[in-house]
């Protein structure tokens, strides 16, 4: 879908999509304005509607910049700021109205509203061909489930609806049990899995496939400790011919060729493109991880060849220019000290050099960086990057299967799954064996960190394992941050956004404490 995004008609954004709501569910009741009979009169209209859902994922509050990353990546034992920025989130200085995720909440409900409206108008629509009706319905079901996945992860119980409601009903909804929401999303994903094709090609790359639906369904099951169901979905994906583990770990993240940014390990990715017709078609998340030259290299003002000769930063800049590269990022999302320290990794773990960089082109750097996330090529300019955000990939599925099998039956058959991931990670090979169930479980804590760090999994992993507070209070942070002093048990969820409560006090009816952020 690298080029499809640039071709989306504005028609549906002006007529069909319920956008621009910002701090509330709806500004007006569009059900009173749009006749829903024969809402889509041909295949193209239904396809454009599905395309519009993917566009919402491009919002800054979701995948384009640090929207979801704020709550899935920061504040754990992986990423921290290189200076005193983003401190409220990293230091758990979160409250109603203070980094409470209001824009993320609004963007996710924008997906829910639009997907629900489209589902009701695609199902049984005889104006559509069978193939387009099945695919667009499957995509809408997947996208709505993805939105509720994030909503229930971040806020727990949330307002829930499956069809577009009148304004007065939307504006007075109470919170709904996340267990019921997630159960129904699993059912929707089972249906989506049957409707969606197993793969795409050319301009359709990036659309949700049946395996994307299976991966999301597996996540729901894993988070809910439904081990057998999680493993069934993982096994189904692993046995599919469409996806495989790449032989080289670095290749999974190679985004340098803008015409070839998908690979067989990716199951679902949010597709960004440089110079798209929409302002958020590209991504600037990369710049959080790209260094800025004003910081680099270490001892940057030293002149190795004596007074009057170029400083180290000038020498580095010249060497970068020879490669058509630059360090023009924000440079603040960097590895925490313990993750950056290679002595905390197995010495034979090849993933370290792909993940972490402390020296470049012969220059020691002032800070460590995430090599897997940066792109220094001038063809990928600042705030105009085309990199895909990988949401699900096969290595994660193998590790999920390993965890589920271990919880079900112990490590005996779980070794197969984790060792498949470790085969490419180590030279010489270092397969696991001889562990107890508890030892396997705890070893997987680190294995997922080393394999998947910065990919949006760590925070929820630590929460579902019940060890977030232990990890945050014991890992080493930099002097300008001290999350250990602030984190409390209620920080496993966000508070319902203050703006939403002001509009709808019913959001506090079932929980006056707002997830523990206020007293009764």
What single string gives the DSSP state of each residue in 145-178? HHHHHHHHHHHSSB---SSPPPHHHHTTPPPB-H
Give strand pairing partners of 501: none
C-alpha span between 74 and 157 (Å, rounded): 22
Burial class from Cβ neighbours inside 10 Å (0-12, 13-18, 19+) for residue 35 reads: exposed
Tell me how long the chain is.
520
Alpha helices in 308-379, H assignment, sequence order: 312-322, 337-340, 351-355
Domains by residue range for the chain, with CATH: 5-196+492-508 (1.25.40.390), 286-385 (no CATH)
356 near 340, Cβ under 8 Å? yes
DSSP run (H or E) holding 112: helix 102-122
C-alpha span between 297 and 289 (Å, rounded): 15
Burial class from Cβ neighbours inside 10 Å (0-12, 13-18, 19+) for residue 359 reads: exposed
209 near 197, Cβ under 8 Å? yes
- Please give the angle made by the CA atoms of 464, 468 and 472, to the nearest 5 degrees: 160
Structure tokens at 67: 């929207």
DSSP run (H or E) holding 80: strand 79-81
Note if the bond before 297 is cis, omega within 30 degrees: yes
C-alpha span between 233 and 238 (Å, rounded): 9
243: phi then psi, degrees, rounded to nearest 5: -130, 145
Name residues whose C-beta falls within 8 Å of residue 403's C-beta, 6 or more positions apart in sequence. 222, 414, 441, 444
Structure tokens at 294: 């004003």
C-alpha span between 342 and 357 (Å, rounded): 10
Give strand pairing partners of 292: 328
Structure tokens at 350: 């090849």
> What residues of the chain score a pLDDT lower than 70?
1-38, 276-280, 520
DSSP run (H or E) holding 210: helix 210-223
Alpha helices in 372-492, H assignment, sequence order: 394-409, 415-425, 437-452, 458-464, 468-474
C-alpha span between 503 and 499 (Å, rounded): 6
Each residue of 171-222: pLDDT tens digit? 999 999 999 999 999 999 999 999 999 999 998 999 999 999 999 999 999 9
Note if the bond before 91 is cis, omega within 30 degrees: no
Q: Which of 104, 21, 54, 70 is nearest to 276 (CA)?
A: 54
Q: Which of 374, 382, 355, 363 is nearest to 296 (CA)?
A: 363
Q: Which of 143, 153, 175 is nearest to 220 (CA)?
A: 153
**Cα Rg, the chain, nearest whole Å:** 23
pTM: 0.93
The neighbour count for residue 437, using CB atoms within 10 Å, is: 15
Its sign, for the CA torsion 231, 232, 233, 234, is positive
16 near 292, Cβ under 8 Å? no
C-alpha span between 431 and 381 (Å, rounded): 41
The neighbour count for residue 398, using CB atoms within 10 Å, is: 22
């Amino acid at each position: 879908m690298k080029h499809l995004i640039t071709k989306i008609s504005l028609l549906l954004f002006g007529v069909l999509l319920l956008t621009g709501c910002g701090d509330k569910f709806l500004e007006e009741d569009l059900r009173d304005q749009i006749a829903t009979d024969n809402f889509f009169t041909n295949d193209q209209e239904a396809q454009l509607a599905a395309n519009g859902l993917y566009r919402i994922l491009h919002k800054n509050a979701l995948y384009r910049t640090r929207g979801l990353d704020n709550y899935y990546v920061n504040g754990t034992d992986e990423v921290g700021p290189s200076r005193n920025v983003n401190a409220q989130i990293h230091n758990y200085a979160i409250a109603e109205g203070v980094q409470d995720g209001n824009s993320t909440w609004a963007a996710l409900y924008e997906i829910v509203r639009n997907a629900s409206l489209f589902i009701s108008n695609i199902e049984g629509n005889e104006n559509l061909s069978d193939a387009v009706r099945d695919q667009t319905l499957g995509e809408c079901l997947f996208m709505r489930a993805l939105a509720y996945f994030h909503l229930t992860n971040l806020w727990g119980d949330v307002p829930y609806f499956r069809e577009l409601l009148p304004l007065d009903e939307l504006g007075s909804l109470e919170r709904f049990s996340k267990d019921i929401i997630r159960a129904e999303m699993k059912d929707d994903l089972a249906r989506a899995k049957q409707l969606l094709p197993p793969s795409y090609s050319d301009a359709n790359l990036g659309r949700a496939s049946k395996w994307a639906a299976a991966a999301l369904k597996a996540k729901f099951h894993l988070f809910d400790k439904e081990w057998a169901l999680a493993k069934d979905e993982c096994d189904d994906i692993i046995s599919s011919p469409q996806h495989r583990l790449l032989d080289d770990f670095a290749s999974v993240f190679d985004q340098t060729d803008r015409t070839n940014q998908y690979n067989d390990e990716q199951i679902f990715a949010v597709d960004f493109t440089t110079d798209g017709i929409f302002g958020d078609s590209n991504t600037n998340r990369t710049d959080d991880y790209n260094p800025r030259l004003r910081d680099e290299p270490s001892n940057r003002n030293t002149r190795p060849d004596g007074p009057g000769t170029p400083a180290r930063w000038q020498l580095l800049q010249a060497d970068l220019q020879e490669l058509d590269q630059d360090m023009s990022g924000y440079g603040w999302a960097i590895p925490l000290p313990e993750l950056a320290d290679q002595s905390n990794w197995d010495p034979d773990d090849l993933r370290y050099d792909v993940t972490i960089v402390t020296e470049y082109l012969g220059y020691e750097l002032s800070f460590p960086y995430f090599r897997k996330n940066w792109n220094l090529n001038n063809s990928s300019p600042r705030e105009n990057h085309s990199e895909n955000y990988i949401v699900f990939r096969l290595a994660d599925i193998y590790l999920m299967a390993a965890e589920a099998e271990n919880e079900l039956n112990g490590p005996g058959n779980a070794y197969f799954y984790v060792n498949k991931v470790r085969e490419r990670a180590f030279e010489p090979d270092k397969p696991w064996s001889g562990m107890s169930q508890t030892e396997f479980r705890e070893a997987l804590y680190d294995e997922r960190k080393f394999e998947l760090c910065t990919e949006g999994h760590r925070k929820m992993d630590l929460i579902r394992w019940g060890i977030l507070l232990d990890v945050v209070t014991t890992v080493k942070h930099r002097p300008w941050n001290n999350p250990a002093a602030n984190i409390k048990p209620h920080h496993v969820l966000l508070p319902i956004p203050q703006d939403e409560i002001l509009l709808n006090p019913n959001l506090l009816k079932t929980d006056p404490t707002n997830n523990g952020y206020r007293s009764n």
